[in-house]
Chain A
């Protein structure tokens, strides 16, 4: 089955570090980019950034540049989103999403496969 499996919910304190994961299975992990999308409680979707797992090249939204780090380990088909110092405002659901590959095998900037999400709660 083609899927993205995300790590479980996390409860952290402000200032702590965190890394969450997204493991792809059932497809060639290095053939598709992975993006991370934030959804704060009761709010909409925000694109954070993406990684090309084949070479770990990344792009970030200006809103998230410098606040998070996206990485990948292609040997285990896993992408990561990490924080070095969490804030209460980082409390949200975080989704990983696979970029769509067109019939001409071109990767697009929209998403056809999503993980179930990782809920991150930051509270003192």
Chain B
């Protein structure tokens, strides 16, 4: 099975900072990767799919990149409302779907 590893597991950053979260697949998955945001006590929200396509309604400060095994989610200017746990999800060999373990983002 392909494993998805996110790093860091948690991070703390200041408002306005550029934040990058990494997701690494144990084997190549082309661009079959999605990113979700889960705010505390809330439901997951789709941010990005196909590694770099922004879901409708998601602020443009969020972006995704990568292909193959290495992917990144970037927040260009961190806002207080971005406090959340972020998950990557691979879907290259559906129905084998795997989420990363999550990255917890806090405000410094």
User: Which of A's residues lie within 8 Å of B, judged by CB?
Assistant: 35, 37, 44-47, 49-50, 59-61, 95, 97, 100, 108-112, 114-117
What are 15 sample pairs from A and B whose C-beta atoms fall under 8 A apart? Answer: A44-B87, A45-B87, A45-B89, A47-B98, A50-B95, A61-B96, A109-B91, A109-B95, A110-B34, A110-B46, A110-B89, A111-B44, A114-B43, A114-B45, A115-B43
Which 4 A-B residue pairings sit nearest by Cβ, starting from the closest?
A: A109-B91, A59-B95, A110-B34, A109-B94
A47 touches B97 (CB 8 A): yes
Residue of A50, A61, A111 ringed by the most chain B CB atoms within 10 A: A111
Main secondary structure of the interface of A (DSSP, over half): strand
B34 touches A44 (CB 8 A): no
Instruction: Give bound CA distance, A20 to B49, whole Å.
Output: 29
Instruction: Give bound CA distance, A111 to B88, whole Å.
Output: 12
B97 touches A61 (CB 8 A): yes
Per the 8 Å Cβ criterion, residues 79-96 of B in contact with A are 85, 87, 89, 91, 94-96
Which residues from chain B contact A61 at a C-beta distance below 8 Å? 95-97
Instruction: Give bound CA distance, A95 to B44, whole Å.
Output: 9
Which residues from chain A contact B43 at a C-beta distance below 8 Å? 95, 114-117
Which residues from chain B contact A109 at a C-beta distance below 8 Å? 32, 91, 94-95, 97
Instruction: Give bound CA distance, A115 to B85, whole Å.
Output: 18
Per the 8 Å Cβ criterion, residues 35-70 of B in contact with A are 36, 38, 43-46, 49, 55
